[in-house]
């Protein structure tokens, strides 16, 4: 049996080792908290770069020779790509913070501020500059419409992020299975993918679609310019609405799923590799419409409540078998009862005498 002084020495050694490991874990935790913040700031960098790309746009008539001509559609396409890249950073920062258990209120506020830049201000500027006054010199009213719709989109995105911070207190992943209102990254994705689809249809790569008339593709690509402000306005409303939207990654990609999911993902990957602009535009557009469509479906399939009538509203039932009430029947010959049978004749005067 070990003497007491040896057991106490071993206990002190174990306590010192546990304290050292505890301090190391705390230092590692503080160091890992920097990684989610850097990813969040990467989201902001993408948004600022997209704004710079849009600011370089110069709508110069093609008949004017300019030494520093910038292609507007190229700048818009690159700004849309930067917005999509910001979505990747926005998706990674929350996931890394949950894996490393470094979620905090500071990270949530920083994420919302960066989202306001990348998914609020940048798509609004893309919408406004795609319909710039120099692009439509004879239509000042349309330029004003694009300005107002773009500003409405930015206000909706900022309001959506503020409401999310107020209503969401838990940083757990289970509280992010669905969203109230269209998420701001998805709304920005609608605007960005429409710009990318327009650049694809108006660019040289659209010639690969030999089964479609090139003139039709040109008309569709030109029409996206007029559709973009209305799409931005609709997304601005959907962001502040109460429609429910599912979290795609947490709802459909996490955990064990049926084997058919793998085939669907492979098929979507093949289509994305062949026609990335078309598939992305359709995906974001369908996701934005899923909230109102599911709400309308739930309202149409809501169970009908059967309203039972009150007792006072029920019709009166006629008594059967001569029963006029539920009380006991009087005995034959009792006072108040008329005897059954033929009525007797009144007595004659002789009988009364």
pLDDT of residue 117: 96
pLDDT at 86 over 70: yes
Domain ranges of the chain: 12-299
| DSSP secondary structure string for all residues of 163-186 | HHHHH----SGGGGSEEES--HHH
| DSSP secondary structure string for all residues of 284-343 | HHHHHHHHHHHHHHHHHTPPPPPPPPPTTTSPPPPP-TT--SSSPPPPTT-TT-PPSSSP
What's the rounded mean pLDDT across residues 88-115?
87
**What is the pLDDT of the chain when averaged over all its residues?**
78
Using pLDDT thresholds of 50, 70 and 90, give the confidence band for residue 3.
low
**This model's pTM is above 0.95:** no
CA dihedral 10, 14, 15, 20 (to 10 degrees): 140
Using pLDDT thresholds of 50, 70 and 90, give the confidence band for residue 304.
low
Contact 281, 193 (CB under 8 A): yes
pLDDT of residue 179: 86
pLDDT tens by residue, 208-222: 777 788 888 888 888
pLDDT at 90 over 60: yes
pLDDT at 64 over 60: no
pLDDT of residue 96: 86
Number of H helices, E strands in the chain: 12, 2
pLDDT at 301 over 60: yes
Picking from 305, 308, 324, the residue whose alpha carbon sits closest to that of residue 316 is 324
Among the ranges given (36-45, 73-82, 97-106, 282-291), the one the predictor scored with the smallest mean pLDDT? 97-106
Return the higher-pLDDT residue of 274 and 14.
274
pLDDT tens by residue, 172-224: 555 567 888 999 999 999 999 999 999 888 888 777 777 788 888 888 888 99
Contact 262, 181 (CB under 8 A): no
What's the rounded mean pLDDT across residues 261-279?
88
pLDDT of residue 9: 63
pLDDT of residue 73: 79
């Amino acid at each position: 049996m070990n003497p007491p002084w040896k057991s106490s020495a071993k206990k002190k050694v174990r306590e010192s080792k546990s304290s050292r490991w505890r301090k190391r874990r705390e230092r590692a935790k503080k160091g890992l908290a920097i990684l989610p913040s850097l990813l969040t700031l990467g989201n902001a960098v993408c948004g600022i770069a997209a704004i710079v790309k849009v600011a370089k746009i110069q709508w110069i008539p093609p008949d004017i020779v300019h030494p520093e001509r910038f292609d507007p559609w190229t700048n818009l396409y690159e700004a849309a790509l930067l917005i999509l890249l910001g979505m990747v950073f926005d998706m990674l920062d929350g996931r890394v913070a949950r894996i490393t258990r470094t979620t905090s209120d500071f990270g949530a506020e920083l994420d919302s501020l960066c989202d306001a830049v990348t998914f609020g201000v940048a798509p609004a500027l893309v919408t406004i500059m795609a319909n710039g006054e120099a692009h439509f010199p004879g239509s000042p009213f349309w330029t004003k419409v694009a300005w107002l719709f773009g500003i409405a989109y930015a206000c909706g995105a900022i309001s959506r992020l503020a409401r999310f911070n107020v209503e969401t207190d838990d940083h757990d992943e289970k509280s992010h299975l669905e969203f109230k209102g269209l998420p701001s990254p998805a709304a920005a994705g609608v605007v960005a993918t429409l710009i990318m689809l327009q650049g694809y249809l108006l660019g040289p790569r659209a010639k690969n679609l030999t089964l479609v008339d090139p003139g039709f593709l040109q008309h569709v690509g030109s029409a996206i310019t007029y559709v973009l402000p209305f799409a931005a306005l609709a997304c601005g409303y959907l962001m502040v609405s109460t429609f429910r939207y599912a979290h795609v990654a947490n709802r459909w990609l996490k955990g064990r799923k049926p084997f058919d999911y793998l085939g669907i993902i492979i098929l979507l990957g093949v289509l994305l590799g062949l026609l990335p602009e078309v598939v992305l535009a359709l995906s974001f557009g369908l996701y934005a419409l899923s909230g109102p469509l599911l709400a309308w479906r739930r309202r149409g399939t809501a169970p009908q409540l059967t309203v039972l009538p009150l007792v006072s509203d029920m019709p009166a039932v006629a008594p059967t078998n001569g029963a006029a009430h539920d009380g006991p029947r009087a005995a034959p010959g009792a006072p108040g009862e008329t005897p059954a049978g033929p009525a007797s004749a009144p007595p004659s005067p002789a009988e009364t005498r």
